[in-house]
Structure 1
């Protein structure tokens, strides 16, 4: 049943509604007319009557307060009450006291709100009343409190009076009494308010579970409210004080019940009062409730009968259309709010075609992004488990036809501006790399069947190109080379940058493309330094390791000497000569970088021999990693000057000049001639005319090792030569080297790791 209802559209419901309207319309019109015209009119009249009643109640209460206020004004000017009463002896002057009591008793009966009237005389500190008699204020608290009431600015005012002489706290209206001269008041009338009468007058308007109360302008209750729930009374008070409605009468909801709330301000007895009355709306609209229920019951019964008849009729009419709709699109709602069965039948096939076209368009737009992500993950090694057939099927799904195709990689490297004076920031490098990637992508679309551009973080950009089928290897390779020349010329001309393009070998298998990508990226290292634009073909590349090269060992040695002697300017000159020699000999980026790495290693060794801490000297930086990231020769020179040479020289003592260097070099020449004789550092110091300490420091600074180690190394070299080229015994060789045999064996093993005999067996040769 639920499924049948879910699939029915507007045709069914319109038919059902037509029957319902035809049958129910007369009864609905009558019911609506009775309810809205009759019931609403009655409710409106009852509300108006309630408002009038509340207004009359508030006016009546206002009259009581007005009479009380007028009466209080007359008391203030009573001629029978004067300051002489302060000197009156109430016990002796019986008749005068009796007359005063009668006057107070007559005052008490003049208004139903008056419970008692008392006369307070300030000088005698007494209170006189027919109910209390004559009482003297005994305590200082009572005297101070009663006297403070005479110090107020108002002539008549209402307050709470709590005196020890009285039994409890009472609300009183105080009327100050002054003589004819208008001097300070000599006393006051205290009119005690009848609290129970005041509560009854105020609460008389609360009916049917409502509430009525009186409060002052500060929100303090003057009467005890008639509400059964004190929280309801507090909520009403808060609503009136905070101004829940700007009208004198408004509807207030509390605990799910609605109340008609009326409030009005009264200015009496020297201050403002607020009268609040709340009556349940159910009490007001009670006469209408029974009539509304009868109308509702009759209408509901009639509606049920009509629904049953309409349900039976509509089902009979709808069965043929329902069968057709269930066959077209069972369980699917019409889109765009259209639920008409006839319209759904007409638009069914159009919607299907639109969805198909939209889906096809979305797939075509997302294919390049999906293909790029897939290839990036493949080149990162995430899909090496796939077979060649699976890879081709994947690329086929992403829109590439790779059957019987060949693959090649072009890797483009940007090296900076053509003009040396044009300096480029990191932001410029990122922008030109982005522009070069766009250019390469556009060229790949026009010169290759398929192409995918892959940017790298080191300003290099790779492009995987798929070459057309039915071509020989040479034709395909020639096509790839022509494309590489086009890329090289276009990028260099448009961006005015130094560009190198490396072209990989051609492969027939997709799984082999990561290997040729790595080959092409490595081939960039074989570019010739100094050429603005060049192309490197991996197929024709001859590795530099197969050729003979000349490393500038002499310049390296001189540079190390300059560093040890603290000659920064001379070291910078030898550094440029060193790099220039590397460029002239090999010329490739790879050879220059390898040579500079070798130089950094030699300097690192010199640092250790100078007893310096490399981590402290170079601030803990990984110097080899930093040098490996630099490819431009000029940047390498600047890096060596700032990061290596200058920190080294700043730590080298300044006391050794070029003359001392010449002295050490002269000593070295003599050592090479006399090292097989008994020589000592003291001998050369005395011969050179300098101190032993100064010569020792200079010797280590220039050579990187002390005198004893240097001589020992020369003698051990001679020892190894004699071991290999002669048949002399170890004792004879020790005598030649000026060592005793045990010491020679021990020191030889220390430096070489094996004994002289083991060394001879390992390097045995036929003696000359």
Structure 2
């Protein structure tokens, strides 16, 4: 633990102190605010509540006195009590006396402050009550004192009554009784006050060492609180009498304690009374003190919890920083101050940012190469599983925006120099192709938002164009065609080369770009041979439709005849005428290449008919692939002369001279007239004076097939003509051809793949089918 704390730097301790201050300060401020603001508010509220309580107590006491006062007023006007009671014999008039006692007893229970109710009759000097019975005032003093009570001006008043006839001095409320004529009062009701009840009622508001008492306006105490300090009562009485405060409630200090004193005057029973109540402030604020202690205890506990949480939080927050510090390799960061973790991380971060920027620069420089590699692999079919959105996402990673864009391909092909008679080596071709690719890349970067150039090994260069967004098909196609024209004129003008540029169709899907690339590359073969700069538009090619062409079959046949006869010079002449005819007829590279492929196939057939092994003759080379790679007609002629004509003629036997050639040709003229007769090779050998074997070899060398096959082919040609143009039966046609019918059917099926009847049904004119 100590070692771990020693390893921590200044940032940890500063952070810990900050967390502690941030965590504890609000709690401390809240606790202090609650203690002071809350305590004062509670004291104020408690004082207010105490005042309300005092007011309610005084009001309740006032209600008792008011009730007593109202009761006295009712007694003064009681119709059942009149002056005749002075002449009543209470002993003899038993029933009347009993009714009077019942009345007095009912009066006594009407108010808790009433201890007893007595009736005083002046003339008889009697006092009557259910408690005292009927007593007669015996002494002159008692008679004079009782009589003096009736001489006051007040109808109802309260006084202290002390008679010898009574057991003790009592506070009574006297209600004078007068007859209906309103003459001098004949007596009075004495209502004896229940002193203990009055003391309890007044002293009920005194709590916790306080005092409550009632006094008259002269300062004489009416109630007695035995539980209270007499000196406190006297001090309070003096303070109230001399007007210590102009307010009904004030704070009075006595004996080192503070008291909340409330007083109020009451005017009841014919005089003024003063109600005084004093309660210690400590008693009032006792709940606040308890609450404050609870707040302090809770605040202290909360502070301890906050300290623990701050410690745990600081450690948790510092843990990632500690991991970063541990991951930093020591010795690489600069001196960043005395063990300052943030400064060390900042130094390491700056170094990482520098490396990141360098890496970002290298990535940006390598993006074109990475994009080119990715697109090449895509065009080669290595990402066929990608969806359109995934493909666009890949290109976004390589810096292209492809949304709402159309795509097109340009393919540029270099053919030769201007003028065309200058020969170039393979190295020259590579250098020129590299220069053309650089020119296309520069044009693509300066004139298009996005574009990628792909050089190929056959000196052709493709460029994928990403056209501006939100263009119509016609506008986008015109934009691509204009760019292609710029590439054509720039590359051709700078390099002095024969250039063909093909513009492919537009597509909105990236997944279809491999198809338009292949289609555009094929479109290069539609260039017109002989033109220096050509622009081939695939869209226009598709709109041109089909055109009829004428293939030079006669020249092909003469060329093969020259090969069979070993006439190399004549064969070369016919070869040039053959290529010239193809150029004049179709004119496109594709047509010329297709015609040369057809010628190569015919020569290959002649090689096989001459019983020469093609693999040995051509040294095992794939002649069709080699020819397919050649685009220039002159190159094709040179290739045929060196790779086909010369090797073939070198393998042809030299024993057959022109005389044998004339003999065979004369024989062929006669054979076309006599092939329907019984004629044989022996006939012509005997007629020309040439041996049968020599004539047979010469015939095959000139025609490419033996005598029997040649005659059979002539007769079958006649048979097909008769089948189509006449209604002759198969037997009649067989007889004409000098064949029996079964043999004709068998040999016809061998050469044509169907019977004569099937051939007639397939090729006969409608008029002959009915």
TM-score bin, normalised by smaller chain: 0.5 to 0.7
Report whether the alignment pairs 1:333 with 2:328.
Answer: yes
Does the 8 A contact of 1:7 with 1:331 survive in 2? no
Mapping of residues 398-547 of structure 1, within 5 Å: 398-542=398-542, 546-547=546-547
For the residue of structure 2 that corresponds to 1:534, the secondary structure is strand
Cα shift at 1:650: 0.9
Separation in 2, partners of 1:591, 1:7 = 85
Unaligned runs of 5+ in 2: 13-313
Separation in 2, partners of 1:753, 1:332 = 85
Cα shift at 1:739: 2.1
Does the 8 A contact of 2:437 with 2:453 survive in 1? yes
Q: Which residue of 2 aligns with 1:744?
A: 744
For the residue of structure 2 that corresponds to 1:331, the secondary structure is helix
Mapping of residues 217-232 of structure 1, within 5 Å: none
CA change 1:606–1:454 in 2 (3 A) is same
Does the 8 A contact of 1:9 with 1:339 survive in 2? no
For the residue of structure 2 that corresponds to 1:656, the secondary structure is coil
Does the 8 A contact of 2:503 with 2:520 survive in 1? yes
Report whether the alignment pairs 1:645 with 2:645.
Answer: yes
Separation in 1, partners of 2:345, 2:608 = 90
Task: For residues 34-93 of structure 1, give each alpha carbon's deviation from its aligned partner in whole angstroms, at most 9, with x where no partner exists.
Answer: xxxxxxxxxxxxxxxxxxxxxxxxxxxxxxxxxxxxxxxxxxxxxxxxxxxxxxxxxxxx
Q: Which residue of 1 aligns with 2:734?
A: 734
For the residue of structure 2 that corresponds to 1:728, the secondary structure is coil
Mapping of residues 297-336 of structure 1, within 5 Å: 326=321, 329-333=324-328, 336=332
Q: Which residue of 2 aligns with 1:562?
A: 562
Separation in 1, partners of 2:616, 2:509 = 52
Does the 8 A contact of 2:371 with 2:398 survive in 1? yes
CA change 1:618–1:349 in 2 (3 A) is closer
Cα shift at 1:553: 0.5
Does the 8 A contact of 1:328 with 1:345 survive in 2? no
Mapping of residues 49-198 of structure 1, within 5 Å: none
Q: Which residue of 2 aligns with 1:631?
A: 631
Task: For residues 197-226 of structure 1, give each alpha carbon's deviation from its aligned partner in whole angstroms, at most 9, with x where no partner exists.
Answer: xxxxxxxxxxxxxxxxxxxxxxxxxxxxxx
Cα shift at 1:326: 3.4
CA change 1:4–1:524 in 2 (3 A) is farther
CA change 1:347–1:667 in 2 (3 A) is same
Q: Which residue of 1 aligns with 2:665?
A: 665
Q: Which residue of 2 aligns with 1:283?
A: none
Does the 8 A contact of 1:411 with 1:503 survive in 2? yes
For the residue of structure 1 that corresponds to 2:326, the secondary structure is coil
For the residue of structure 2 that corresponds to 1:414, the secondary structure is strand
Separation in 2, partners of 1:545, 1:595 = 20
Cα shift at 1:761: 4.4
Mapping of residues 314-393 of structure 1, within 5 Å: 326=321, 329-333=324-328, 336-338=332-334, 340=336, 341-342=339-340, 343-344=343-344, 347=347, 350-351=350-351, 353-354=353-354, 357-393=357-393
CA change 1:4–1:420 in 2 (3 A) is farther
Does the 8 A contact of 1:10 with 1:339 survive in 2? no
Mapping of residues 599-614 of structure 1, within 5 Å: 599-614=599-614
For the residue of structure 2 that corresponds to 1:502, the secondary structure is strand
State the number of aligned residues.
Answer: 461
Does the 8 A contact of 1:7 with 1:333 survive in 2? no
Does the 8 A contact of 2:333 with 2:347 survive in 1? no
Cα shift at 1:587: 0.8
Q: Bigger shift: 657-666 or 521-530?
A: 657-666
Separation in 1, partners of 2:495, 2:619 = 38
CA change 1:381–1:699 in 2 (3 A) is same
Cα shift at 1:520: 0.9
Q: Which residue of 2 aligns with 1:688?
A: 688
Cα shift at 1:532: 1.6
Cα shift at 1:760: 3.8
Does the 8 A contact of 2:402 with 2:466 survive in 1? yes
| TM-score normalised according to structure 1 size | 0.56
Separation in 2, partners of 1:541, 1:764 = 38
Cα shift at 1:419: 2.9
Mapping of residues 708-719 of structure 1, within 5 Å: 708-719=708-719
CA change 1:324–1:390 in 2 (3 A) is closer
CA change 1:485–1:686 in 2 (3 A) is same
Cα shift at 1:563: 0.5
For the residue of structure 1 that corresponds to 2:404, the secondary structure is coil
Unaligned runs of 5+ in 1: 13-318
Q: Which residue of 2 aligns with 1:549?
A: 549
Does the 8 A contact of 1:404 with 1:469 survive in 2? yes
Separation in 1, partners of 2:413, 2:758 = 54
Does the 8 A contact of 1:607 with 1:613 survive in 2? yes
Separation in 2, partners of 1:725, 1:531 = 48
